[in-house]
Homo-oligomer: A and B are copies of this chain.
Amino acid sequence: MNINYNDNKINLSIPDGTYDILGDEMRFREYVISQIRSVYERFGFMPQSTPIIEKACVFKGHHGEGEKLIFNLIDKNNTKLVLRYDLTVPLARIINMHPDIPMPYKRYQLSTSYRDDTVDKSHLREFTQCDADIVGTSNCASDAEIILMAYNVLKAINIEEFTLMLNHRLILRGMAYEVGITTEEQFTSFQCVLDNNLQDREKMSKNLCDNLRFIGIDKQSIDKVVYIIYSFSNNFFSQSIFQILDKIKTNFGHQSLIVKGVNEVEKIISLLPDEVLGKIHFNLGLARGANYYTGVIFEAVVNNMEMGSVLGGGRYDNLIKNVGNRHYPAVGFAIGLDRVLTVLNDLHAVELNKVFPSKLLVACENQNDFQKTFHLINRIRNYIDVDYYYNEYNTDILNYIKRNHYKCMLVICKNSTFKLINYSNDKSFVDKVVDILESITPFVSIESEDRL
């Protein structure tokens, strides 16, 4: 991003892991956001916004190791502030601060969060998440609705080949307990290893050894963990999720955490339409990093792509109480917008003509004549979006047309006639422009030309 100039001015750049988003790319981004938003609205969610600067105390103690990545600042009254780390803790804060909100509270929030992290393709320091959460109900219909929304969002943005990985924290805890992982510290260590090695049994086994042995878990138990995870996950075998869940209950019927977890998963998936079920893979290897999850957890990964999950979430029934003192169950998920856009770019999944709406560019051959042109454009704008090219009418305009995706240009010629130039196959758009011109400027002479 650095550009070196030949003079003594500063080298302009932006912080690593942040981006400028211009024209095309921003239109594309806004189109995807509008699709996501429309799914959230379809499910009856309300928008919400919270400050990017928050008091530091609000964010302490909810993200384990992640807390080291929080950006700190101090205002001129010496108040310790942070740039928000996520949108979930602010939601918990709001629920505690506004006891008058009628429950259930279903909100979505589309915003940036900040982590002072090491930067790579899928880790930015300023990143955009599209969160949707339901607070105030433990009805499993709300878990199902969140998963259904995740499915619908991916469909709405034309991602077809994806897998919804599903697990339940109670089943995971029960399994961990079965092999001797009983403390919070051991469980966190176990979680990290699972999440980072979802697809790779060898690696998981090795990393589990490294991580669990020195906190007292023996080799035999570790092998048992790995065996269980692989046997009871239907993304590695051709078993249906119902078969897997049955098998878990048969084998671990003595473990109440596991039984409770399986029952909840069964209830949730019984509500999902077949097309959603077809995408779900039960995966005991899924753990998800955040400490606050308590129930169902899930992630979506795009098939055959080297990239982490594009969305993820789950039930977190204690976070709100931990941030304040009100006790409300909650379930939700977040879409990583930046990753989704990378995927869409790689897949060429979105038709660009949906993103770049037809607009008319107007240029004037005779710059001295622009007062009349200006008033004409003003009238055309009652019917159609119009951009006026202020500069001299020369070959530079071709670059301008290309970069801004204009489909049609109206040239006001020196002899006061009009020339319409069509740069697309969209004949109907050009016809519409002719109609508009004829209706507002009688006795106009229009010459039309295709330059596809």
Contacts and interface: CB of A to CB of B under 8 A. Distances in A.
Given A102-B400, A104-B390, A271-B374, A46 B20 contact: no
Given A10-B57, A72-B73, A386-B43, A15 B102 contact: no
B97 A55 contact: no
A21 B42 contact: no
A-B pairs, 7 with minimum CB distance: A44-B387, A18-B51, A73-B73, A21-B49, A139-B390, A137-B390, A102-B400
Contacts of A96: 3, 12
A365 to B, nearest CB: 14
Contacts of A43: 381, 385-388
Interface residues of A, number: 102
Interface of A: 1, 3, 5, 7, 9-10, 12-16, 18-23, 26-27, 29-30, 41-55, 57-58, 71-73, 75-77, 79, 81, 83, 90, 93-94, 96-99, 101-104, 106-107, 112, 114, 116, 125-126, 134, 136-137, 139, 141-142, 144-145, 148, 270-271, 273, 323-325, 357, 359, 361, 367, 370-371, 374-375, 378, 381, 385-391, 396, 399-400, 403-404
Contacts of A45: 387
Given A9-B324, A20-B50, A27-B47, 11 more contacts: A3-B97, A13-B97, A16-B77, A21-B48, A22-B46, A22-B107, A26-B47, A41-B357, A52-B83, A75-B125, A102-B404
Given A7-B325, A142-B390, A403-B102, A53 B23 contact: no
B3 A26 contact: no
Contacts of A22: 46, 48, 94, 98, 101, 107
28 contacts: A12-B324, A14-B55, A15-B53, A15-B79, A15-B81, A16-B77, A18-B51, A19-B49, A19-B51, A20-B50, A22-B101, A22-B107, A41-B357, A41-B385, A43-B381, A43-B385, A44-B361, A52-B83, A102-B403, A103-B396, A104-B390, A134-B390, A137-B390, A139-B370, A139-B391, A141-B388, A144-B374, A145-B374
A48 B23 contact: yes
A371 B14 contact: no
A58 B21 contact: no
B399 A102 contact: yes
B141 A42 contact: no
Contacts of A374: 141, 144-145, 271
B116 A75 contact: yes
B387 A14 contact: no
Contacts of A49: 19-21, 26, 29
Given A94-B22, A139-B390, A391-B104, A52 B375 contact: no
Contacts of A9: 324-325
Contacts of A367: 139
A3 B403 CA distance: 52
A328 to B, nearest CB: 12
A371 B270 contact: yes
A391 B90 CA distance: 24
Contacts of A54: 14-15
A30 B47 contact: yes
Contact of A106 (B19, B103, B387): B387
Contacts of A50: 14, 20-21
Contact of A126 (B52, B137, B381, B400): B52
Contacts of A270: 371
Contacts of A10: 57-58
Nearest to A359: B44
Contacts of A137: 390-391
A47 B30 CA distance: 9
Contact of A46 (B19, B23, B378): B23
Nearest to A44: B387
Given A42-B386, A391-B139, A112 B14 contact: no
